[in-house]
Amino acid sequence: MVTTLRTASFPATVNRLDNNLTVVHHHMPATPVVVVDIWVRAGAGIEPPQWSGIAHFLEHMVFKGTEYLPPGMFDYAIENRGGSSNAATSYDYAHYYMTVAADALPETLPYLADLVLHAGIPADEFVRERHVVLEELRQAQDDPDWLGFQALSAQVYQEHPYGRSVLGTEALLNSLSPEDMRCFHQAHYQPDNMTVVVTGGIPLETTLELVRHGFRAFPQPPACPQTAPMPAPPWQGIRRQTLRLPRLEQARLMMAWTGPGVDSLEDACAMDLLSSLLAEGRSSRLVRELREERQWVMDISSGFSLQRDASLFTLQAWLEPERIGDVEALIRDRLAQLGQVPIPPPELARAQRLLCHDFAFSTETPGQLAGLYGYYSTVAQTEDSYAYPARVQAHTGATLATLARRWLSPDDYAVTVLLPGG
């Protein structure tokens, strides 16, 4: 039995199989390729502290074969048919995806399903791949922007898992065992934690038959250390730190605020609008004033990252060290104004237009759609993905001012300053 959801405003179908696995399907008849994207609610955010880094390490180990699939056979099978594959891990998810010709899906989907469900995690491959993961961590630690962002996240989230690096630490990675990883994998890679997204040139019934067959045998979940749900820490005052980095050529001013999570998607869309108004494009407020007119910064950007528990709003400026105090003071003043004075309709319309156009451009290919559906299925509801433009258009200058006062206080934020020098 399959339970299927389809709405007039949502072009895909959301299907729930008997084993509670979610399958999202979008048929694109004119497309000769298919993208399969498997999303699992098993990112760094659910790691026990003593296993920090295990979700990302597991992403590597999934491709090391199963009882029936030797290491390298999956890559050979996909690439021999002209396809490609990859994976990624964040705080709220891990996902594994491949692109193949539509007529190759019956041969290749069973391979990907076997890897994700039945990763063998052999001890010899575990030891070898740990060196690869440790080298990835060392390379990240050579990147000043990565170090700055990790320090800023730790300031914002404190003991919450979002404050830890997805990559873990060298000491904790060296303490992990294949048995730990098998436990984590089998406990969390379960059907009620997983969404299989299939987009491209294959019809629904064929898709469901292939997925039902490939994802029919999940492992029995073992008892495994769990992380208790943890709210983001309460916020009060300014949290400040300065780091001196020997390989840094240009100073950074990095500021951050927590934002609404997936339980407040209307507010989250407003944060995207505020980010665009402040620092997207030459005519945005902070870019125009700080870079174009005053020339106090080489560049400035903003971003909003929607996350399940507590999202993150950031501003980052590249500047000379002597300008840091002036720029931070001006940003605080402009944020206070943003919360007091409604945004003029032409300025708001520009930001809404930019976001809606970006959304349209990001839903053109099977891969883009698979990523959109999988992400929303993992952190919210799949059908929420296509409500984004309507939510953006619904905001007014007055509602944005109210939300700016609530979420972008000039008196409650984290700031990390990066300065050149050891």
Each domain of the chain, given as residue ranges in start order, spans: 3-214, 238-420
Q: How many helices (H) and strands (E) does the chain have?
A: 15, 12
Q: Burial level of 301, CB count in 10 A (0-12/13-18/19+)?
A: middle
Contact 157, 103 (CB under 8 A): no
* pLDDT score, position 227: 77
Q: How far apart are CA 104 and CA 77, in angstroms?
A: 10
Query: Token pair for residue 306?
Result: 């929607």
CA 118 – CA 219 distance, rounded (Å): 7
What token pair was written down for 274?
């505020």
- Tokens 């944020």 belong to which residue? 335
- What does DSSP assign to residue 281? S
Q: Which residues of the chain have pLDDT under 70?
A: 1-8, 229, 422
Q: Which CATH class is domain 3-214?
A: alpha beta
Assign domain 238-420 to its CATH superfamily.
Metalloenzyme, LuxS/M16 peptidase-like (3.30.830.10)
Give the pLDDT score at 2: 56
Domains 3-214 and 238-420 in one fold:
yes
pLDDT computed for residue 231 by the predictor: 73
* CA proximity to 114, closest of 98, 130, 133: 98
pTM > 0.85: yes or no: yes
What's the full length of the chain, in residues? 422
Interatomic CA distance for residues 274 and 272, integer angstroms: 5
